[in-house]
Amino acid sequence: MGENGKVAPYGELGEIQVRAKQPGLILKGYFRNPDATNKCILSDGWFATGDLAYMDEEGYIFFKGRSKDSLRINGENVSAWEVERIINEYPDIEECAVIGVPGELGGDDMKVFIKCASCGDKPNPSDIAKWCEPRMAKYQIPRYYAFIDEFEKTESQRTKKNDLSRSIYDCWDRNAK
């Protein structure tokens, strides 16, 4: 489903929505959380998953991330999941997490937290940013880089992104001269 509430055209990013043949087969609601239920179960019986994807002309669906992990950078929608996937391919990076931080002109900037795979020297953030250049659009390359020893995780092993520092003064700034 596109941002305009209509079915997204082929190749355009939208939210995955599903509907069972009988109501309540997918999800009746969130336990003791009517607000969350009302946000995801639409009046016409469709379930809004919160997953962002696009469909090609052959009907294949390509997952791009979660809507709550989507950032608006210079007027463009950026999937934190997609940026993390690419940065995780960098040598000696075990794991990373991308969050939005307040931008200077409103909107968001990106900050990436990096956990190194080895105890050796940390990679140079400038080298990571340069490595990203041929692999993603310029607006997808994070502005801020911070290193972390461990990520706090939920019981389902998801990174607790809300616990990560939104400060821009404890990290390397790609735009600093």
Tell which CATH classification among 2.30.38.10, 2.40.340.10, 3.40.630.40, 2.40.50.430 matches the domain 1-59: 2.30.38.10
pLDDT in tens, 36-63: 888 888 878 888 888 888 899 999 998 8
In angstroms, rounded to a whole number, what is the distance separating the alpha carbons of residues 150 and 7? 40
Q: Residues with Cβ < 8 Å from 12, sequence gap 6 or more?
A: 2, 54
Domain boundaries, the chain: 1-59, 78-173
147-155: long-range contacts, CB 8 A cutoff, minimum separation 24 = 147/113, 147/114, 147/115, 147/116, 147/122, 148/113, 148/114, 148/115, 149/115, 150/115, 151/95, 151/97, 151/113, 151/115
Q: Which H or E run contains 81? A: helix 80-87
pLDDT at 177: 65
pLDDT at 168: 87
At the topology level, CATH places domain 78-173 in: GMP Synthetase; Chain A, domain 3 (3.30.300)
* Common-topology check for domains 1-59 and 78-173: no
pLDDT at 172: 94
Average pLDDT along the chain: 88
pLDDT in tens, 121-146: 789 999 999 999 999 999 999 999 99
Q: pTM, whole model, 2 decimals?
A: 0.74
What number is the average pLDDT over the span 69-94? 89
Token pair for 63 = 């997952």
